[in-house]
Amino acid sequence: MEKPKLFVTFKSFWLTLFFLLSILVIHLSYIYKNYNEFKIKPLFYTDVEVIQAYEKWKTDNFYTIIKVYSSQLDIIFFSRTKIRVDELTPHLRLKIFPDSEMSFYSYLGTSYINSSVNEIYKEESFKSKVMALVEMQHQDVKIANFYNAIYFAQPLDKELRQEVALLGVSHLIALSGFHLAILWTLLFSTLRFFYRIFQERYFPYRFDLIDVGFLVLILLAWYVWFVDAPPSLLRSYMMMVMGWILLILGVELVSLSFLTIMVLILLVIFPKLLLSLGFWFSVTGVFYIFLLLHYFKDVNRYWLMIIISFGIFILMLPIVHMVFSLTSFLQLASPFLSLLFTPFYPLTIGLHIIGLGDIFDELLIKLFSLKSMHKEIFLSYWIGGVYLFLSILSFYFKKLFYLILLLSILYFIGLFIGLLL
């Protein structure tokens, strides 16, 4: 028996679409008003969270580039300071000087704003204490940085960030829906085991997806708050909540209508996502997962995990190379590493809790030290755009799906042959 669709008629879908788009326009108008008020102010004092920081030298002039997020102003921007990276903390108070020439596009995206550091917060928070406990278990600073990135959404050092890009596993480092999905599976499976012991005796009429699922969402909400709710993780959490609600209602999830409405709801709440490259990459990734589930839904779940891991890697290659050109033979290991990361992530959390977090350090050091031939290889926007358009149509035409799969495989082969030429 098929699950009911989210929209019974085309008309209801388009009316919902129009309604959400109208709210989005209203919200953007409000942001535009704030933008006009912001750019004419001579200065602001605001608390910021440091997303990224790295040092640069220009002739004899040293400075540190910082990428920060101000929740008070709801903007992400770059700035620079003379303070060394190791002297900065995750939270700063800045005195910023808006530029009256700043465009609305820059305000919505990531702009550059002159600033001066007014205060560096040195106080010890619970999060910083937990991070220190993780760091104490590692002699190598790079490995400590890696674990603090995947657990607490801390920025990677520049060198490690380059090594991760060479391996093609940046998506495994930045906290996202992938990490939440792993934590959901772990928590739900564990709590459901104990829940069923009491359910069978005291409340057999209850539904574990509702009770246990709600408890897991509360725990994950605390985790998102604990790591200071980075925008990418917050968006992923909201997508998970919406998916859980529709799952309880018994509505079909693997559909373009669900994905479209989910994206629009997120844009209504966070309009600045319109210019977020990371957001659109995550949406594209979810789309290709849906596409693979649509055509391989009857496959054994273990085979399905393998199909999704390798399928996403191949299908996303043309999209990724429209923006990120770095190509290396090490990236061929990406789908294997994605599969291994699923048990690795919760296992290392447990090992850090009992003080054995350094077990994989030597292996990780060797992994990040791997070198490979690499080149910058771009795919033109119009070819990538046609490929994406055909991918959307392939959701409705099976033969077109096989064509897209063939094209992506041919591109995959040509891409890595191109490394040798």
> Would residue 48 count as lying in a domain?
yes
| pLDDT attached to residue 302 | 82
**pLDDT digits 0-9 by tens, 181-220:** 899 999 999 999 988 888 877 888 888 888 899 999 999 9
Contacts of residue 376, defined as CB under 8 A and 6 or more positions apart, other chains included, come to 325, 326, 327
Asked whether residue 18 is domain-assigned, the answer is no
Question: Is 113 in the same domain as 174?
Answer: no
* Shared-domain flag, residues 176 and 103: no
Asked whether residue 1 carries a pLDDT value surpassing 60, the answer given is no
> What's the pLDDT at 403?
94
User: In the chain, how many domains are there?
Assistant: 2
User: What is the arithmetic mean of pLDDT over 89-93?
Assistant: 82
Domain end: 84, 108, 123, which one? 123
Residue that is last in its domain, among 66, 99, 123: 123
Residue given tokens 């564990």 in the structure block: 190
Question: Are residue 50 and residue 184 in the same domain, yes or no?
Answer: no
Q: What is the pLDDT of residues 35-65, one digit of tens each?
A: 998 888 888 888 888 877 877 877 677 888 8
The answer to whether residue 259 sits within a structural domain is yes
Q: Helix (H, G, I), strand (E, B), or coil: what is residue 294?
A: helix
Quickly state the pLDDT bin for 231 (edges 50, 70, 90).
Answer: low
Between 150 and 230, residue with greater pLDDT: 150
Q: In whole angstroms, give the CA distance from residue 89 to residue 99.
A: 26
Query: What pTM was computed for the model?
Result: 0.85
Q: Does 272 lie in the same domain as 391?
A: yes
- By the 8 A CB rule, do 99 and 39 touch? yes
Distance of alpha carbon 213 from alpha carbon 215, whole angstroms: 5
What's 65's domain CATH number? 2.40.50
Give the DSSP per-residue string, 64-84.
EEEEEEETTTTEEEEEEESS-
**What are 327's two structure tokens?**
């190509």
Domain hosting residue 65, numbered range: 40-123
pLDDT, one tens digit per residue, over 140-173 is: 889 999 999 899 888 788 788 888 888 888 888 8
> Same domain, yes or no, for 188 and 291?
yes
| Average pLDDT score over residue span 98-126 | 84
- Domain-embedded: residue 219: yes
Would 12 be classed as within a structural domain?
Answer: no
Residue 195 placed within a domain: yes
Least-confidence region, from 13-27, 215-229, 249-263, 332-346: 249-263
Residue 144 lies in a domain: no
Q: Are residues 228 and 371 in the same domain?
A: yes
Residue 132 lies in a domain: no
Q: Which two tokens stand for residue 417?
A: 């042959």
**Same domain membership, residue 182 and residue 119:** no
Residue where one domain finishes, among candidates 123, 151, 182: 123
pLDDT of residue 233: 80
Q: What is the pLDDT of residue 137?
A: 93
- Does residue 288 contact residue 408 with C-beta atoms inside 8 Å? no
